A and B are shown apart, each in its own frame.
Chain A
Amino acid sequence: MTRGLIASLILPLALLLLVACESETRTVVAEDDDSPTAPPPRETARAEVLGFADDEATSRRLDVSVAVPDSGRGVDHAELWARPQGGTWQLQTVIDSLDPVRVTVPAEGPFGPWEFAAVAVPDSGEPVDVLDAAEATVIIPEPITITDRHGEVWEITHAVHRWGLSVPGWQHGIGRHTLRPIIEPALSCPGDVDYLHPDNLTVVLGVFEGDEARAYKLGDLPDVEVVDDVFAGAHIAVTY
């Protein structure tokens, strides 16, 4: 470790991001269905793949944007299909939202060009063929994996392609359970017999919020690498 660092993290941020990513579920009512003697002309329900968040795929998980523009025209749901070029179509996911959505799909299969198509399924239940023509294609990279000392295989495709964490830089691999984090540690308070003397010159990482202050000795971190704590009502991780 050449540079000491505390990365204290407000984890609820991740929660907010996750909530924002969830698809909305909505019930669809055809607009003119209240007249039993005159069923409305049914327009062809359409759905389309708008593209990828990551046009040059850097991993085998893809964020795909899908639109179902004929909302209210008898669409029950949409489906996202994909196939390796020359392969057979495989259903990737069912989309209940009738607004444009971004869904994440893992590409489980060969690397190379993949084709994507979206299909809107009418609420009549009539079967719908997957489109012959793909609406979007993307090159899915060959998976890059490394194996740790316990034999666990780690996929680092995205780390390598997107963030430049090239394979030779990955070292040690001593296993994910070797350094166990400290979770919500016991604290020493002023007046406690083991409270650190105020003249002590040890290096600490300190956080404060309002009247609340807390410190972590830098020297206590290498053995565990991470302390997962709750401070001032927020979940934080202290790391070095």
Chain B
Amino acid sequence: MTLTLAASGWTWERTFVLWDHETGSIWFGGVGAVGWDQLVCIGGELQGQRLEQIDLQRTLWRSWVGSHPGSKIMRRRQP
């Protein structure tokens, strides 16, 4: 099963709560016991399952593209 995650329209303490289109389960990351490096299913069919964060960098584009000159970037306006 591949999950399509989306915003649920809810936030909890100013952090977005997500849901998946496939099962309607709700997902959250950033609560103390969960941590910021994963999402946990906090309700619904997949309750208790976790999705781990993959390696990523948060940086300036100039720095990123300097290190990865062939990098693609998401287009702002989607067709």
Contacting residues, chain B, for A171 (C-beta < 8 A):
10-12, 14
The docked-state distance in angstroms from the alpha carbon of A23 to that of B71 is 43
Tell whether, in the assembled complex, residue A202 and residue B42 are in contact, meaning their CB atoms are under 8 Å apart.
no
- How large, as a class, is the contact surface on chain A? 35 or more
- How large, as a class, is the contact surface on chain B? 35 or more
Tell whether, in the assembled complex, residue B39 and residue A178 are in contact, meaning their CB atoms are under 8 Å apart.
no
Tell whether, in the assembled complex, residue B70 and residue A190 are in contact, meaning their CB atoms are under 8 Å apart.
yes
Chain B residue at minimal CB-CB distance from A54: B48
**Is A181 in the interface zone, CB < 8 Å from B?**
yes
Chain B residue at minimal CB-CB distance from A1: B14
Chain B residue at minimal CB-CB distance from A146: B10
Q: A156-B43, A185-B75, A217-B76 are in contact. Are A204 and B60 (CB under 8 A)?
A: yes
> Which B29-79 residues sit within 8 Å CB-CB of chain A?
29-34, 36-40, 42-43, 45-62, 64-66, 68-76, 78-79
The docked-state distance in angstroms from the alpha carbon of A226 to that of B50 is 17
Tell whether, in the assembled complex, residue A188 and residue B39 are in contact, meaning their CB atoms are under 8 Å apart.
no
Q: How far is the CB of A32 from the nearest CB of chain B, in Å?
A: 42
Tell whether, in the assembled complex, residue A179 and residue B76 are in contact, meaning their CB atoms are under 8 Å apart.
no
Q: Interface with B: A84-92, A121-129, A160-168, which one?
A: A160-168
Tell whether, in the assembled complex, residue B7 and residue A178 are in contact, meaning their CB atoms are under 8 Å apart.
yes
Q: A187-B75, A200-B61 are in contact. Are A159 and B26 (CB under 8 A)?
A: yes
Q: How far is the CB of B63 from the nearest CB of chain A, in Å?
A: 9
The docked-state distance in angstroms from the alpha carbon of A9 to that of B27 is 12
Q: A211-B70, A213-B70, A239-B16 are in contact. Are A203 and B58 (CB under 8 A)?
A: yes
Interface residues of A (CB under 8 A from B): 1-15, 17-18, 59, 61, 63, 146, 148-149, 154-159, 162-165, 169-183, 185-190, 194-196, 198-208, 211, 213-218, 220, 224-229, 234-237, 239-240
Besides A5-B29, A214-B72, 7 more A-B contacts (Cβ < 8 Å) are: A4-B58, A6-B53, A170-B12, A186-B75, A190-B71, A203-B60, A215-B71
Q: Which 3 A-B pairs have the closest CB atoms?
A: A213-B68, A225-B7, A213-B71
List, sorted by A's number, 28 A–B pairs whose CB atoms are closer than 8 Å. A6-B56, A7-B38, A9-B39, A9-B51, A9-B52, A11-B2, A13-B50, A14-B51, A148-B9, A171-B10, A181-B7, A185-B78, A187-B72, A188-B75, A194-B75, A198-B65, A206-B56, A206-B59, A206-B71, A207-B57, A215-B61, A216-B74, A217-B61, A217-B73, A225-B6, A225-B18, A237-B3, A237-B18
